Each structure stands twice: as structure tokens, then as C-alpha cells.
Amino acid sequence: MIQQAEKILQQYYGYPSFRPGQKEAISHVLQGKNTLAVMPTGGGKSLCYQIPGLTLHGTAIIISPLISLMKDQVDALHAYGIAATYINSSLSVDEQHQRLRDMEMGRYSFVYVAPERFDSPNFLSALKSITLSLIAFDEAHCISQWGHDFRPSYRSIVPTLKEIPNLPVLMALTATATQEVIKDIKELIHVEDTSVVNTGFARDNLSFRIIKGRDKREFINEYLTQIPNESGIIYTATRKDADQLHYLLSKKGVAAGKYHAGMTEHQRKQAQMDFVQDEVTTMIATNAFGMGIDKSNVRFVIHYSMPMNIESYYQEAGRAGRDGEPGDCVLLFSSQDINLQRFLIDQSPNEEKKKEEYLKLQAMVNYCHTHSCLQQYILDYFDDPTETEPCGKCTNCTHDGEERDMTKEAQMVLSCVKRMGERFGTGLTAKVLKGSSDQKVKQFRFQNLSTYGIMPNYTEKELTGFIQFLTAEGYLSTGDGRYPALKLTKEAVSVIKGDQPVVMLVESTTKKQKIDYNEE
């Protein structure tokens, strides 16, 4: 049967070969085994259920939370001459009934539905009366409470499935599943270990870059001039930023669209269409834009400010390069971004949630300060099980500076944190190391500490940057409070004891033996 699948790939879709994981997932399904496929965005998950759907007899039901995407998926199948439809609340009741009747007549190879459809007795009785080829859960992480986008309606499908006597093989597909979520999905829909296909989250075609200390608008101007005809998204943290940037770029003659929740539904739809159909090349948007937008030729995603957590960042940046061609993911960092995100988190009334959000924010800040490979940092954050090499493309991998042993300096900083009682943040620690006569330093009598003023040759800004680096590399942790208090980690203890060196990348052009980093 897998030969037949290969033939369909070439004849219907015109692709010469399978992408990683596709063949495995398809062959499990064809053998009647419930299957979980974890593949990155753009990895080609749709084919994993479409090809078995075409190979096996009967109708395939595809469950998707993204109503806005169903039409696109169905249109794409129509273009291949495949009978497909969707049944959801965007249709009139009459139209829904008509499509349901057609489904009962076995007229469709594929029917896309939202999870809520399984609450409808009519739909269920139709399901029971036809031959089903498979049932696929797209965006399957929505099934799990541990997922970042839990939908109770998704989970409640599972008991309903027991009522279906002619239950076919089940499939779950997702691009974002932690080990917890994978375990949950496996148990819920009975997937054996051997039928889990996990190609990891790595998006090899994306290059991650962090830009610090540049005028953000100037950077964007230059960037867009260099690639005037490429499609891309610029994410801003606020509507105001989106409005202003849109105004400025339009004035400069950039064909830019705008999208945020302050616009009318009509305006947003129009903006989205203009972008998808390449009427405008650059979309300036808040995070309201993107969910359910299927545009494969996005060449760059620029973040005008740092987002709140790595989950959002990877999801938004990941909208670049869905066609497998190179995608450039640029984050423009300034330290004010952190304050804005803290402020946004503070709006939450839920104290537990706040703590969690602060921790996630700190991981995002660490991403901006780490000297390790950015791709690896992200994969580690998601506990990606696959071993990967440094990407060779991110700002840290391509940094042309030199490595410098900073062990002695690190020991000074870490001892100072210890002596200050592990109760204070980056700013005050930098002041103590510098030997500042700041009011707060005096208030806590830190001028009496042996570490007071032991790093006088650095500016406070440089010291702040160095402490942020030590935090990003895991020597210091900041806890989950509103005001991050620096604490030593296990690694810090080995550094203080002299068991572990600290190496940092510095610009090779620096004149003095100084930490050089270009913080704003």
C-alpha cells in the first residue's frame, strides 16, 4: 500500500518524494494503527492524513479548531480534483444540512469539521451510517490540558468516539507538543509507542537573529530596502506601535498592510486578503494576526519588540518559510521591552498564572541574552527529544567575535549576589559591583560588602549586560516574582569553586580588555 501512497504523492500532488516523517506516519495509518505525528509547521502534516484518506475506502473526517483554514484546505483539495467539503458554523443551517446529506451519500473523500460538530446528534448519526476511512485530529495539542491552547470541546470528542461502531483508524497531528502533551494524546486516543512519529520541532530553513542597540525603525527601513519584493510580517507589541510604524513605512512608499484588534472586522479581513494575495508585501500587525493564516511564501518575520514568551515567539516567527524555503526571523530587542511585558502580565488577576508568566518571560529575556545557538535554545526550551547541532545560521553561531575567559569576573559577580543575600535584582547588583554611591546601596549598607566596587573598570551598563548574560546561561536564576531577585544556581556554585569556566563571546575589535556588548 505504501507504493500506492508514493504514486499518489507523485501523481496527485506532483512531489517527487516524502518529507521526513511523512512516509512513516502514512504507513502506520495504512496498517490500521492509531498514529501521532509531531512535525514542525510547514513539515507537511496535511499529506499525512490526505494520502491515507485517498488510499483507504470511505470518508475521512478531519477535526480542526481553525474554521478560517478549512475553506483553504478544501479549496486546495478541489484544485487536485478531490471531493472535499467542510461543515461548520460559518455556513447557513440549510447549507450545513445539504452537506451533511451529501456526506451521508458518501460523496466526499474529506470532510472538515470543528470539534463542536461532534455534539450534534445529526452529525453523529451520519457518521455511524457511512464508511469512514480515518478520523484525524489536526492541531491535536488542543486535546491536552497541558497544551498551550486547550479546547475542552476537543477532549470531549474522545468519549463520543466510543459510540461509533464503525470507528476507523485515528490520527493526531501537531507542531507543538511537549512530552507531557504527547503522553496525554497517546493515552487518550490509544497510540502505541511505535506509532508515534516525532521529527522534532526544528525548522532548519529558519535563521534566528537578535538585533540589539540599533534604532529599530532605521533597521526596518534598511531591511525593507534590501528586499523590496519579499513578503514578510512585522509584529509589534501594541496597536499604537503598529499604527505608527504603518504610517511611517507607508509614507516611505512601502506597500504595507496593517492588522490589529482595534480595526473593524471588515478592515481586518481586507488587510488579510491583501497580504495573502500579495497586494501588499509587508504586514504590520499585533499578535492578533496570524492564527489560521496559510501563506507559505513569508520570507521574514520581524519582531519590533520582544514577545511575552518563547511559545508565542516561535509560533509567530514560525510563520516564515512554511514552503521550506529560507525564512529570516529577526527580534529587535531593547530592555524597555521587558518592562512592557511585565506591565501586561501585571494586568492578570490570577496570581498563580502571573508567577508562571514571569518565569516564561524570563526565559524569553534569556533568549535575548544567551550566547548559545538560538535554534538550540528554543528546542531545549520545548524539550525537543531530537539531538541537534548548532544551526550555524543564527546571530550567535555566526558571531565573528572571539571567545574570552570571563571566569574571574563571573566569580566576582556571583559572590556579590551571594553577599547581597540573593534578594536583589540586576540593576542594584551592578551598582554594588561598580561601587556606586546610590541611595539604595547606602540604605542596605552594601558599601560595607567585600564585593562593593570590585569591578570599577566596567560601566554599570556593561555590568548589567554581563549579569544578564550570566542569567541567560543559567548561572543565575530570577524566580517567579514581579521583581526578579537574582539567586545562584548549581552551576554558579561550580564556577565559584573554580570547577567550571565561563566563556563569553566578545567583539574582536574591542580595544580594551573590556566586556563589549551593544546594549541599548
Residues that bind ligand ADP (CB under 6 A): 15, 18-19, 22, 39, 41-47, 296, 322-323
Considering the rule CB under 5 A, would residue 202 count as an interface residue with Zn ion? no
Q: Which amino acid is it at 99?
A: R
**DSSP strand pairing (487-488 vs 476-477):** antiparallel
Residues 339-378 touching Zn ion, rule: CB under 5 A, are 373, 375
Give the binding range for Zn ion (CB under 5 A) out of 193-201, 256-264, 276-284, 388-396: 388-396
Site for Zn ion contains 397 (CB under 5 A): yes
- Residue 306 CB, nearest approach to Zn ion (Å): 18
Residue 62 beta carbon to ligand ADP: minimum distance, rounded to whole angstroms: 11
Q: Which three-class secondary structure state does DSSP give residue 303?
A: strand
Nearer to ligand ADP, 43 or 115 (CB): 43
**210 interacts with Zn ion by CB under 5 A:** no
DSSP letters spanning 446-466: GGGSTTTTS-TTS-HHHHHHH
Partner touching 19 among Zn ion, ligand ADP, none, CB below 5 to 8 Å by kind: ligand ADP
Calculated CA dihedral for residues 140, 141, 142, 145, nearest 10 degrees: 140
290 binds, among Zn ion, ligand ADP, none (CB under 5 to 8 A by kind): none
The least distance separating ligand ADP from the CB of residue 46, rounded to whole angstroms, comes to: 3
Give the bridge partners for 26, in sequence order.
Answer: none
Question: Which residue number has the CB closest to ligand ADP?
Answer: 44
Closest distance to ligand ADP from the beta carbon of 496 (Å): 46
397 binds, among ligand ADP, Zn ion, none (CB under 5 to 8 A by kind): Zn ion
Report DSSP state, residue 382: T
Task: Record the cell numbers describing residue 476, joined without a space.
Answer: 543565575
Identify which of residues 210 and 492 has a Cβ nearer to Zn ion in the complex.
Answer: 210
Asked whether position 391 contacts Zn ion by CB under 5 A, the answer is: yes
Main-chain phi, psi angles of 60, to 5 degrees: -100, 135
Residue (292 or 474) nearer to ligand ADP, CB: 292
Q: Where are the beta strands (DSSP E) in 316-432?
A: 327-333, 402-405
**Rg of the chain in Å (alpha carbons):** 26
Does the CA dihedral 267-271-274-277 come out positive or negative? negative
CA 471 – CA 376 distance, rounded (Å):
17
Between residues 15 and 483, which has the closer beta carbon with respect to ligand ADP?
Answer: 15
Where do runs of H (alpha helix) occur along 227-373? 239-251, 265-276, 310-317, 336-346, 351-369
The pairing of beta strand 402-405 with beta strand 503-506? antiparallel
In the complex with ligand ADP, which residue's Cβ is closer, 19 or 186? 19
Closer to ligand ADP by CB, 18 or 304: give it.
18
Binding site for Zn ion (CB under 5 A): 373, 375, 390-391, 394, 397
